[in-house]
A = this chain, B = another copy of it.
Amino acid sequence: MYGMISTWRMAYEGVVNQFERLKEGEFAGNVLEASIREIEDFENFISVGYGGLPNEEGKLQLDAAYMNGSTFEIGAVAGMEDIKNPISVARLLSQDRFNIFRVGDGAKKFAESEGFLSENLLTDYSKNKWEERLKKVENEELTPYDGHDTVGTVVLDKDKNIVSGTSSSGLFMKKKGRIGDSPLPGSGFYADSDIGGATATGLGEDLMKGILSYEVVRRMGMGLSPMDAAQTSLKDFEEKLERKYGKVGAMSLVCMNNKGEWGIATNVDFTFVVATNEQEPTIYTSKRTEDGETVIEKAAAEWVEEYLSNVLTRQE
């Protein structure tokens, strides 16, 4: 049994490429890191790594994390500037006993000491989007905060290792130094090879109030199917958040257990990618209907074609 699940359509190419290595018995950590690096490197995916969405000051500040569910090694970076592959920095930190979570200049200093290059990650396209948004926000035409598509991935390999990881440029137009749930253990990601792994995307400020990735893994550990674990965790938390906080932001979860079974939950239009020993890499679209049911469908060929064309031509 083996497989992987990833948030958002942007994960597809990386999953397709790395799933071949997973089939050959490659370690889950290597598969996860390589698949996320592909997204970080591709400038046309504008919410992760190179070409990501900048903060209010026009600067990219990146968050990422890595967790090995067999060893409980965790590494994380947050608010890191100028380093192209935060997932690799996070993974490297997971090898340490101390200082495994580093932020800001300290994260960058570590990365540079390990040979990562400092480079400009802001593309002309992202810079233009930032300038446009800045103007609209100044004119009060819209709230700045509506872009936050984190890649989150869970991988189960043939040796039963489960690894979970995330990478994100965070909330578009975020304030300097703002970090979301992506680098936070239990909130943005969690993995326990005895059980399974989970990861989240959406409004980090809400996700971190619910510790949702941990909760999904815990419920799988109680015997719930991945689908039930994700669905009930999200719904129970939404009910509580609505009651206590009065507002519920966008939240999506994906998970996989140690049998390669998967589940998701979302309260928005959400896409994700799955590949397992029983299923070649597949793009799914999902949404919650008005009566609270979650509809999951394989993405139609036309949808995929339109998406690709939009990304390659930078349309929205």
Structural contact, A104 and B104, CB atoms closer than 8 A = yes
A103 contacts chain B at the CB level, 8 A cutoff = yes
Which residue from B101, B209, B214, B241 sits with its C-beta under 8 Å from A179? B101
In the bound complex, how far is the Cα of B61 from the Cα of A177, in angstroms? 14
- Interface contact B241-A105, CB-CB below 8 Å: no
Write out, one digit per residue, whether chain A residues 162-205 have a CB within 8 A of any chain B CB (1) or not (0): 00000000010011111110001111001010000000000111
Provide the A99-117 mask, 1 if CB < 8 A to any CB of B, else 0: 1111111110110000000
With contacts A187-B186, A214-B214 taken as known, whether A177 is within 8 angstroms of B109 at the C-beta atoms is: yes
The interface stretch among A68-76, A251-259, A289-297 is A68-76
Cβ of A56 to closest chain B Cβ, rounded Å: 9
- Do A214 and B241 touch across chains, with their CB atoms under 8 A apart? no
Asked if A177 contacts B104 (CB within 8 A), the reply is yes
Q: Say which size band chain A's interface belongs to.
A: 35 or more
A184: B residues at CB distance < 8 A:
184-186
Question: A70: nearest residue on chain B (CB-CB)?
Answer: B244
Q: CA A95 – CA B219 in complex, angstroms? A: 31
- Residue among A70, A97, A99, A145 with most chain B CB within 10 A: A99
Whether the Cβ atoms of A205 and B97 lie closer than 8 Å is yes
A174 to chain B, nearest CB (A): 6
Report whether A208 and B79 are in contact in the complex, using a CB–CB cutoff of 8 Å.
Answer: no
- Tell me the complex Cα distance, A208–B190, Å: 11
Q: Is A78 interfacial (CB-CB < 8 Å)?
A: yes
Which residues does chain B contribute within 8 Å of A101, judged by CB atoms? 178-180, 204-205, 208
Do A245 and B71 form a contact, CB below 8 Å, given A178-B102, A211-B190?
Answer: yes
Q: Which residues of B contact A192 (CB under 8 A)?
A: 240
Q: Which of A107, A175, A192, A203 has the most CB of B within 10 A?
A: A175
Q: Give A72 Cβ to nearest chain B Cβ, in Å.
A: 5
> A243-267 toward B: CB 8 Å interface, digit per residue (1/0)?
0110100000000000000000000
Q: How far is the CA of A247 from the CA of B185 in the complex (A)?
A: 19
Partner of A175, one of B78, B79, B106, B179: B106
CB distance from A106 to the nearest CB of B (A): 2
- The residues of B that contact A178 with a CB separation of less than 8 Å are 98-99, 101-102, 106
A177 contacts across to B, CB distance below 8 A: 102-107, 109-110
